[in-house]
Structure 1
Amino acid sequence: MKEKYFIHLLDTPVGKYIYDVNTNSIIEIGEGTFEYLKCGKKNTNQVDRDIQKMIKQGYLKTTRVEKAKNPSIDYIEDFLNNRVAYLVLQVTQGCNLRCKYCVYSGGYDTRTHTKKRMNYKTAIKAIDFLIEHSKDEDTLYLGFYGGEPLLEFELIKMCVKYINKNAFGKKVEFNITTNATLLTENIVDFLVENNFQILVSLDGPKETHDLSRQFAGSDEGCFNKLMDNLKFFQLKYPEFYKNRVSFNSVILPDNHLKSIEEFFSTNPLVKENAITSSVVSDVYSKSTIKIDEKYVIDEQYGEFILFLSKLGWFKNEQVLNIAEQNFRNIEDLADNLMKYKRSELPKEWQHGGPCVPGMKRLFVNVEGKMCPCEKVSEIADQNVIGHIDKGFDMNKVLAILNQGNKYFEKCKDCWIFSLCGVCALTNDMVNNGYCELQKKDVERRMINYIILKKLGLEFV
């Protein structure tokens, strides 16, 4: 009957384990038990005793979810009427750069840069919508996105003034995603005065950054201009810069990762700041992204050094900052395993990916269309969950929330059911290899988590 156990086998360098899906637990097992669960050969009494012991402890259940249902459905109207806390405004679809890998660059089958910009009336309607639908929230978050949002700096100033005046009794946090080439003293002063969280796009050293990030209408890279602006910012507001400016690096997998990591670890303008990174995807791309073997080797080496540091075998300053994201992913897994213990899967449930569309991070584009977040394509009809003039389209919201129905027969027997990250952004990729990538990623994180725990690292 072993084939009915809802488990996943984990063969690691430090032992044999199973991930028990029903209880959301990782359990170490013996070699013989592992082979039985893998091949069905039970040739010792010890294996039988081990199996019976695990069953008695509540593991090795055969329970599967019987019906796809997102648990948020029963509360969706309350959530969207009272708990919308985060609004992201696409103040422009224009940009002063033409980054080759940008989804607006024309190199993808989704969006392109346009001259469209958000007018004041649309922006104020969106802010009013946020205030009206956040009755249960003490803190509101207002983000500015593009294109390059600083092209519409005057509109940003008016939005900040308006929400500060009208969000009675609520704290407001501001953030902006920018290429930082348009920063001036006036803009920097304003961002600091209003305590903005600032995410700057920076891909690495000059030769890497300028390879993809060039000014519109020219072949000139923007690295020098960006770094000059950051230097001024850091000099005038050193503490704010250190604590409120972070960086996102978009990595081409044919670049040498080591030089990028060394840049972020040593350059005085970035080495003390938070850094996130992502690898360019060829999903929807009109060209194929080639992954260089040296990139893979550099990535694995950076992760290895990071783990040694976490175990206390290297000093922290020897760790390349950009590799920290890999460890954060393992911490997220550890957090999930510790928080969400259960006796078995519920009869009605859905895979772990979709958030409540519109509640977690409501994105409003230049025309007032509403989407679940700024990462999805706003030109895809299924992602448009309403308009600020008409409110939420509940049919669209429920369609995204219930997307588990679409693939339920495929998903119900999948061992990463509750750890899956498929959401509105990645929904179209399910039949394009995305599921296998998800499984490999979760398995890799589990194995690294097991190894680190075995070597003495405590996850809190």
Structure 2
Amino acid sequence: MSVPYIHTFYTPKGYYFYDFNTNAIVRINKSVYDFLNEWEKNKDCPNSQSECGNIIDELKRAGFLSERHWTKIEHPATKMLDRYLHSSVESITLQVTQQCNLKCNYCPYSGSYYNREHSNRHMSFETAKQAIDFYIAHSFDIPVAHIGFYGGEPLIEYDLIRKIVEYCREKCFGKKIMYFMTTNATLLTEEVIDFLMENEFNLSISLDGPRNYHDRNRHRIDDSGSFDIVMQNIERLYKRYPEKKDNVQFNCVLDPTSDIKCINDFFMNEDMLKEYRVLFNSLSREGIKDNDKFVPNKDYLEQFEYELFKMFYSKSEKIEGIDVSKVVESYYLQIKTVYAQRKMSSFVEDFSHPGGPCIPGTHKLFVNVKGDFYPCEKVCECSADTIIGNIDKGFDLDKAETLLNVGKLTEEQCRDCWCAKYCYICTAHLDQGDGLSRELKQKHCAGVRKSIENDFKDYCLLHEMSGLDDDVIYLN
């Protein structure tokens, strides 16, 4: 008998299987779980007891436990890729400089990663104009122009940014323009703040918590800290434009040796910070040269798990007054958006692709200082494989299609992987400067499966603590 395309797992309060073909999560009793678990692991149908046999038949009649797999790996957008790149480029991000006035330990340009390093190169105005012209010509199906500025520290090229904004105002006639910028906030003078706010920029300000944690990684080239000047400039922004709080958010990168409670308290209790949104991000070790660097310690992991525990209890609404850390809110939102809003269907695709890659060049076209095109700012700039075109020749459709279909590197494994629909492996994980690597992809697979299974467990645990609802299918 064929093996059903499922994955079994359990929480402290229940037993489940994920059904790949219907995308459903099904609650089952212990005996059915043991039966399906043995079937999944040993690839051979065990002898069914009468109770299990009846329930297995019932599950099959309901459309579950199909053994069907994708026949091949091919992204559904492949045949429409040319059309998407021709008219549906959603946003553009300009790398106006590769220079920075800080040398943050975890920055991809810091020299600690294979990805890239700082340089004195900057984008010329002519290159910027060509890039904007190209974006306008390839985004006519998109009603709002999204234009971002990236570095290095982009405000080093403040005069260039002003000229680009003036140019966009002339060229994007009839379209609303939204500007985005990630900045270390050290160069936010009154003039700069006025310009950014008057042009409705959305700012993401890098701030890693109180002085001791911020200055640990975010320091100047001479190793002096940047916390004091950043806080001074944030206060200037706060007082000068109190009505623009929706235009500003903070990006806090969590050093895995930090005290999570201390960082959370800082953002919760500082008067001028607590009115803004804060995004907490784990420190990326993707492409890091030193395998012993930025490894989470035991205390950090225990603190994070404790904050998750409190968050789960707070969502159950059975206990009031629980102080939930903002640090774990993004994780909760991920669980709710990715899993609670998943689509369940009886339709089975003949072919598809693991969920990791976006459509290269359409979601976020990244243009470096030379005018080369990349799928986003996270991929390795040192590899020819990640370049999907340039401002002179336009898109390289073959290169973009290759990145869209990175699952083909491990096609057989991907066709047989139960978590393919939730896989997040993309080009950024697969190239350290030497080209797309099958070995790197395989190296990530076990970690992805473990991560997705933990997400499934937490999603079900939230349901168990809140009471049952229809997002999970329950069978007695």
Is residue 2:41 matched to residue 1:31? no
Residue of structure 1 equivalent to 2:97:
92
String of CA shifts for 1:258-297, please: whole Å, max 9, x gaps. Answer: 2112212222232232222222233322222232100001
Residue of structure 1 equivalent to 2:185:
180
Aligned mates of 1:313, 1:199 — CA distance in 2: 36
Is residue 2:81 matched to residue 1:71? no
Sort the Cα spacing of 1:223 and 1:459 in 2 relative to 1 into closer, same or farther, 3 A. farther
Alignment of 1:366-405 (within 5 A): 366-405=369-408
Give the counterpart letter for 2:451 in structure 1.
Answer: D
Aligned mates of 1:183, 1:430 — CA distance in 2: 40
Secondary structure of the residue aligned to 1:101 is coil
1:427 CA drift (Å): 2.7
Sort the Cα spacing of 1:317 and 1:152 in 2 relative to 1 into closer, same or farther, 3 A. farther
Q: Alignment partner for residue 437 of structure 1, among 440, 443, 447?
A: 447
Q: Between 427-436 and 128-137, report the one with greater CA deviation.
A: 427-436
Are the equivalent residues in 1 in contact too, given 2:312–2:465 (CA < 8 A)? no
Q: Between 347-356 and 219-228, report the one with greater CA deviation.
A: 347-356
String of CA shifts for 1:330-389, please: whole Å, max 9, x gaps. Answer: 01222442xx22224311211111111000000000000000001112221111000011
Q: Alignment partner for residue 103 of structure 1, among 98, 108, 113?
A: 108
Secondary structure of the residue aligned to 1:407 is helix
Secondary structure of the residue aligned to 1:455 is helix
Alignment of 1:185-334 (within 5 A): 185-216=190-221, 218-240=222-244, 242-287=245-290, 288-289=292-293, 290-313=295-318, 318-334=323-339
Q: Alignment partner for residue 155 of structure 1, among 157, 160, 170?
A: 160
Runs of 4+ in 1 over 4 A off after TM superposition: 40-43, 313-317, 457-460
Give the counterpart letter for 1:26 in structure 2.
Answer: I
Secondary structure of the residue aligned to 2:86 is helix
1:205 CA drift (Å): 0.9
Residue of structure 2 equivalent to 1:351:
354
Give the counterpart letter for 2:9 in structure 1.
Answer: L
Residue of structure 2 equivalent to 1:141:
146
1:314 CA drift (Å): 5.6
- Taking every aligned residue pair, what percent have the same amino acid on both sides? 36
Secondary structure of the residue aligned to 1:214 is coil
Are the equivalent residues in 1 in contact too, given 2:260–2:327 (CA < 8 A)? no
TM-score when normalising by structure 1: 0.95
Aligned mates of 2:375, 2:365 — CA distance in 1: 5
Give the counterpart letter for 2:346 in structure 1.
Answer: S
1:176 CA drift (Å): 0.2
Are the equivalent residues in 2 in contact too, given 1:96–1:215 (CA < 8 A)? yes
Give the counterpart letter for 2:450 in structure 1.
Answer: K
Aligned mates of 2:470, 2:180 — CA distance in 1: 30
TM-score when normalising by structure 2: 0.92
Aligned mates of 2:273, 2:125 — CA distance in 1: 35
Give the counterpart letter for 1:291 in structure 2.
Answer: P
Are the equivalent residues in 2 in contact too, given 1:90–1:363 (CA < 8 A)? yes
Residue of structure 2 equivalent to 1:46:
51
Secondary structure of the residue aligned to 1:406 is helix
Q: Between 412-421 and 279-288, report the one with greater CA deviation.
A: 279-288
Aligned mates of 2:301, 2:423 — CA distance in 1: 24
- What is the alpha-carbon root mean square deviation over aligned residues? 1.7
Q: Between 291-300 and 253-262, report the one with greater CA deviation.
A: 253-262
Secondary structure of the residue aligned to 2:77 is helix
Q: Alignment partner for residue 170 of structure 2, among 165, 183, 200?
A: 165
Aligned mates of 1:315, 1:157 — CA distance in 2: 50
Secondary structure of the residue aligned to 1:199 is strand
Aligned mates of 1:203, 1:36 — CA distance in 2: 48
Secondary structure of the residue aligned to 2:427 is coil
Secondary structure of the residue aligned to 1:438 is helix
Are the equivalent residues in 2 in contact too, given 1:264–1:320 (CA < 8 A)? no
String of CA shifts for 1:22-64, please: whole Å, max 9, x gaps. Answer: 0000001111111111225545311101000000000000000
Is residue 2:413 matched to residue 1:410? yes
Aligned mates of 1:432, 1:22 — CA distance in 2: 23
Gaps of at least 5 residues in structure 2 are 40-45, 432-438, 472-476
Are the equivalent residues in 2 in contact too, given 1:271–1:321 (CA < 8 A)? no
Sort the Cα spacing of 1:357 and 1:459 in 2 relative to 1 into closer, same or farther, 3 A. farther
How many residue pairs match? The answer is 455
